[in-house]
Amino acid sequence: MAELPAFLSAQEVGSFAYLTIKDRTPQILTKAIDTLHRHKSEFFEKHGEEGVEAEKKAISLLSKLRNELQTDKPIIPLVDKHIDTDIWNQYLEYQRSLLSEGDGEPRWFFSPWLFVECYMYRRIHEAVIQSPPIHDFDVFKESKDKNFFESQESINALCTHLQQLKPARDLSESQLKDEFFKLLQISLWGNKCDLSLSGGESSSQKTSVIDSLEGLKPFILINDTESLWTLLSKCKKTAKPPVVRVDIVLDNSGFELVTDLVFADFLLSSELATEIHFHGKTIPWFVSDVTVRDFNWTVEHVKSSDQEATSACGAAWENYVKMGGWIYHDHIFWTLPHPYCAMAQVAPDLYAELQKACLVLFKGDLNYRKLVSDRKWEFTVPFHQALSGFHPAPLCSIRTLKAELQVGLQPGQAEQLSASDPHWLTTGKYGVFQFDGPL
């Protein structure tokens, strides 16, 4: 058995993981502290003096966390009583067991990047839930909502486009296929709007992405969309009973979530799928990740738009949810530090749920990192190999590149990219549709 490559970590000075832990994460913590501070009077109005005390407590816990991170202190166990606390602390023990004698404790700059970055967001959650009565406050809510409102023009353009396609079942086969590819690409480029990449700064979509698709095609490094079309067409013909289930493991809220909902709407209305299952996070995560509140809030705000096409989309989406065509799930596994090859062991119920799908789409960079275990794979290693046995159903990663990690490239492709654009791996400028599954 060949030895697995090492995990990405922040010990490599100048690497993207290093810059994330050194600069971006303290910046995110500072913004979270600032957000709590700005809501002080609101906490007082709601909860009186108790609210102000809670705000002080949450801020002091986050300030302590920021100090631990910046001074590379050992990673400490969680002390809250949340549903996943024991799993987290067991995982910390496991990280400790991997260290050789004399290496001491797991630390911010030396332990696997995936672990410490997830741990930081879990500690933010701990600071808030340990501060009742403000224990359900989402420190990232404001920036997520702002991203949605600032992307209004693009959202309206996209909803108008979708409405013009209806009824989708009247489209010819070639028109249907064309639109399928178009909406998939929009969902890919929607993934550029990532608030954890920008340190929580605005990353909204200001231009109509539909008009840009042709110009963006050269930036798709791997394009397996043809395989997705073939698979769904086959599922549609052979499904008995006629259930074609597509699961979408969501990434960012705001504009990206709207692109995912538009694509999901198209799948149902074109009868390429009969039900869509969305998977989101149980707690606020990586700044802009979708929680159930973000999902419902988005549908509600699209529905209450003063633009006719946009509000028609929102009304249709609300109806899909009501009638069971769209089903939203969240599961604690998505906010654990484990790579997905551990899912069958750690969360067998979730793995069994994904096995019911005809196709699972994984949106975004964090999902990709977890799919390939955040290891330093050679660029040409096949995607299937890097998945390390994770295969609940045919799956596809839809991701713009925001970490020094990519597999499945052609020989020489990475070298060419590095020569023309040294930062090609981390800016979100390039994207992939990477499929793994029998056809």
Query: Which tens digits make up the pLDDT trace of 111-120?
Result: 999 999 999 9
| pLDDT, position 21 | 97
Query: Which CATH number, 1.10.580.10, 3.40.309.10, 1.10.10.10, 1.20.930.60, labels domain 16-129?
Result: 1.20.930.60
Q: For residues 98 and 75, what is the distance between their CA atoms, to the nearest angstrom? A: 14
Q: For residues 64 and 73, what is the distance between their CA atoms, to the nearest angstrom? A: 11
Q: Are 176 and 184 in contact (CB under 8 A)?
A: no
pLDDT at 78 exceeding the cut of 80: yes
Render pLDDT for 253-296 as a digit per residue (tens, 0 to 9): 999 999 999 999 999 999 999 999 999 999 999 999 999 999 99
pLDDT band at 166 (very low <50, low <70, confident <90, very high): confident
H helix runs in 130-216, sequence order: 141-150, 152-164, 173-190, 209-216
Q: For residues 253 and 155, what is the distance between their CA atoms, to the nearest angstrom? A: 13
Least reliable range by pLDDT among 101-110, 204-213, 261-270, 346-355: 204-213
| pLDDT, position 241 | 81
Mean pLDDT over each residue of the chain, to the nearest integer: 94
Q: For residues 73 and 62, what is the distance between their CA atoms, to the nearest angstrom? A: 14
pLDDT at 1 exceeding the cut of 90: no
Answer positive or negative: Cα dihedral of 93, 94, 100, 104. Answer: negative
Q: For residues 433 and 76, what is the distance between their CA atoms, to the nearest angstrom? A: 38
In one-letter notation, the amino acid at residue 312 is: A
Render pLDDT for 381-420 as a digit per residue (tens, 0 to 9): 999 999 999 999 999 999 999 999 999 999 999 999 999 9
pLDDT at 50 exceeding the cut of 60: yes
- The structure tokens listed for 174 are 């070639």
pLDDT band at 184 (very low <50, low <70, confident <90, very high): very high
Q: For residues 115 and 117, what is the distance between their CA atoms, to the nearest angstrom? A: 6
pLDDT at 193 exceeding the cut of 70: no
Domain with CATH 1.20.930.60 in the chain: 16-129
Render pLDDT for 24-36 as a digit per residue (tens, 0 to 9): 999 999 999 999 9
With 0-12 CB in 10 A as exposed, 13-18 as middle and 19+ as buried, what is 98? exposed
